[in-house]
């Protein structure tokens, strides 16, 4: 080999070393060479600051696919092609721009989102919740109807058939009564025919007997006391002492609600509807707020400073700040079919074809999504999903990311969506072909 050839080889390797050192130094510093510079050097810079995408899913171990959604110097769109990358993972040195992210895991519904990578920044998507892809299981035969679930998500009530169902044991509980109506009362009690009270935790009837039980209605439970309306008065009944006491008397009471040292009341007759505040300390009504005439009102219990009054006749929701001096009725929402609280500051609700979220701090309603088919049921999932039904399809909206919609299952008919306490299972009555009954769908 001649001296000239050796010099050529030496300086070639030296130049390659310099280029590679320069390139890897750029990569380590979070830069990349923008090869599109060659197409238009006057408008595009040679160096470009890259970004990072940090991903994780629940459950983890999901396959990651990331495609460019913008033109690049390179022809390949899949930047992770032939790479088995799974969550959790950090994808580094991404050219800024828009990407299509897909996450897939066997037995779960796929997740898709448009992601924008900013130069010099890390985009975090580390709380992606995947929903299970399973078939519904029919627990037993039952007509399509609305159901209620208790606070512990252990028991169900069928509102049309007046049946009582133990979720944990997946068995109907027989009550030795001529059942005309069933409803939950507090955490452990079942109200039967609006008169008798069954403690289903202790599996016994309470000795609830008052002097005159003909006009008793609106029975409610608070710790060791039961409360009820009788004619125009509110009474309390102590479950230990077996004594009943008058709390207050007022005309035309139709509903009541306890909040600290106050009792909120709704009185209603043919000429006037009113919201009233009764002070337990002062033993008197301290405020009266008129409600629109002609409605059919009830309280919706909440864990914030607002009072929620729902007009069942006109499907309107009245948001009242009870102690505001200037404007106690802060908002009236029209065409509200049902609401679900997200936290103490916000709730979701639906009209016929829209799902909305309301922020109590801003007193502002925002549209989540609008649909062609009428919405029948709506639930808030604790992992930030909105689950709803249009009477045939059960769908889930990922509330955190792009409001991505997944169809969990399709029935001939479906009604009465209810979620267990942890959000792992969905209960409802449905019909597939000639199989009509109570179904359970595992979603987490």
In this structure, the number of other CB atoms found within 10 A of the CB of residue 244 comes to: 19
pLDDT at residue 303, rounded to an integer: 83
Residues 340-380 pLDDT 10s = 999 999 999 999 999 999 999 999 999 999 999 999 999 99
pLDDT at residue 221, rounded to an integer: 84
2 vs 242 pLDDT, higher one: 242
pLDDT at residue 24, rounded to an integer: 55
pLDDT at residue 28, rounded to an integer: 53
- Mean predicted confidence (pLDDT) in 208-230: 78
pLDDT at residue 230, rounded to an integer: 84
* Phi, psi values for residue 236, rounded to 5°: -115, 150
* Phi, psi values for residue 410, rounded to 5°: -125, 130
* Phi, psi values for residue 35, rounded to 5°: -70, -15
Q: What is the mean pLDDT of the chain?
A: 84
* Residue % of the chain over a pLDDT of 70: 85
Q: What is the separation, in whole angstroms, between the first and last Cα of the chain? A: 70
- Mean predicted confidence (pLDDT) in 163-172: 86
Lowest-confidence segment of 219-223, 254-258, 417-421, 434-438 by average pLDDT: 219-223
- Mean predicted confidence (pLDDT) in 123-149: 91
Residues 308-343 pLDDT 10s = 999 999 999 999 999 998 889 999 999 999 999 999
> In a 10 Å sphere around its CB, with 0-12 CB exposed, 13-18 middle and 19+ buried, how is residue 99 labelled?
buried
* Phi, psi values for residue 36, rounded to 5°: -65, -10
pLDDT at residue 18, rounded to an integer: 62
Q: Model pTM? A: 0.83
Whats the size of the chain, residue-wise?
Answer: 444
CB 317 within 8 A of CB 337: no
pLDDT at residue 74, rounded to an integer: 47
Residue 286 has pLDDT above 90, yes or no: yes
* Phi, psi values for residue 17, rounded to 5°: -60, -45
Residue 52 has pLDDT above 90, yes or no: no
- Mean predicted confidence (pLDDT) in 296-315: 93
Superfamily of domain 34-129: Immunoglobulins (2.60.40.10)
Q: Which CATH architecture has domain 208-241+243-327?
A: 6 Propeller (2.120)
Own/partner long-range contacts of 343-352 (Cβ < 8 Å, ≥24 apart): 344/303, 344/304, 345/304, 348/378, 348/380, 348/386, 349/317, 349/378, 350/375, 350/378, 350/388, 351/375
Domain regions of the chain by residue span: 34-129, 131-173+337-444, 208-241+243-327
Residue 45 has pLDDT above 80, yes or no: no
Pick the CATH number of 131-173+337-444 from 2.130.10.10, 3.40.50.2300, 2.60.40.10, 3.30.1440.10: 2.130.10.10
pLDDT at residue 25, rounded to an integer: 55
């Amino acid at each position: 080999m001649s001296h000239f050839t050796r010099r050529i080889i030496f300086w070639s390797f030296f130049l390659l070393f310099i280029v590679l050192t320069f390139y890897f130094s750029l990569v380590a510093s979070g830069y990349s060479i923008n090869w599109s510079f060659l197409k238009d050097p006057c408008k595009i810079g040679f160096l470009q600051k890259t970004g990072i995408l940090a991903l994780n899913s629940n459950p983890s171990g999901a396959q990651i696919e990331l495609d460019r959604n913008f033109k690049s110097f390179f022809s390949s769109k899949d930047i992770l092609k032939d790479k088995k990358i799974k969550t959790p993972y950090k994808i580094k040195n991404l050219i800024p721009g828009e990407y299509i992210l897909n996450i897939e895991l066997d037995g779960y519904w796929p997740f898709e989102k448009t992601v924008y990578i900013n130069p010099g920044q890390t985009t975090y998507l580390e709380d992606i919740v995947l929903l299970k892809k399973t078939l519904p299981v029919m627990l037993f035969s039952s007509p399509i109807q609305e159901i209620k679930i208790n606070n512990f998500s252990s028991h169900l009530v069928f509102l049309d058939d007046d049946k009582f169902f133990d979720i944990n044991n997946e068995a109907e509980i027989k009550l030795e009564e001529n059942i005309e109506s069933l409803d939950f009362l507090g955490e452990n009690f079942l109200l039967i025919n609006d008169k008798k009270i069954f403690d289903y935790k202790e599996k016994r009837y309470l000795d609830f007997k008052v002097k005159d039980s003909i006009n008793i209605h609106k029975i409610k439970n608070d710790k060791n006391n039961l409360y009820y309306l009788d004619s125009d008065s509110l009474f309390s009944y102590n479950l230990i002492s077996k004594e009943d006491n008058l709390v207050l008397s007022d005309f035309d009471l139709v509903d009541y609600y306890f909040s600290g040292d106050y009792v909120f009341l709704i009185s209603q007759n043919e000429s006037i509807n009113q919201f009233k505040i009764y002070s337990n300390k002062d033993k008197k009504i301290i405020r009266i707020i008129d409600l629109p005439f002609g409605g059919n009102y009830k309280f919706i219990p909440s864990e914030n400073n607002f009072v929620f009054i729902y007009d069942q006749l006109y499907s309107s929701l009245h948001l009242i700040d009870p102690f505001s001096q200037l404007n106690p009725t802060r908002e009236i929402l029209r065409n509200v079919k049902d609401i679900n609280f997200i936290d103490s500051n916000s709730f979701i609700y639906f009209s016929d074809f829209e799902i909305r979220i309301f922020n109590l701090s801003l007193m502002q309603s925002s549209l989540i999504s609008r649909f062609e088919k009428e919405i029948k049921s709506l639930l808030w999932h604790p992992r930030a999903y909105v689950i709803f039904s249009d009477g045939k399809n059960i769908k889930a909206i990922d509330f955190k990311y792009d409001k991505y919609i997944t169809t969990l299952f399709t029935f001939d008919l479906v009604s009465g969506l209810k979620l267990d306490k942890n959000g792992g299972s969905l209960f409802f009555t449905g019909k597939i072909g000639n199989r009509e009954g109570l179904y359970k769908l595992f979603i987490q």
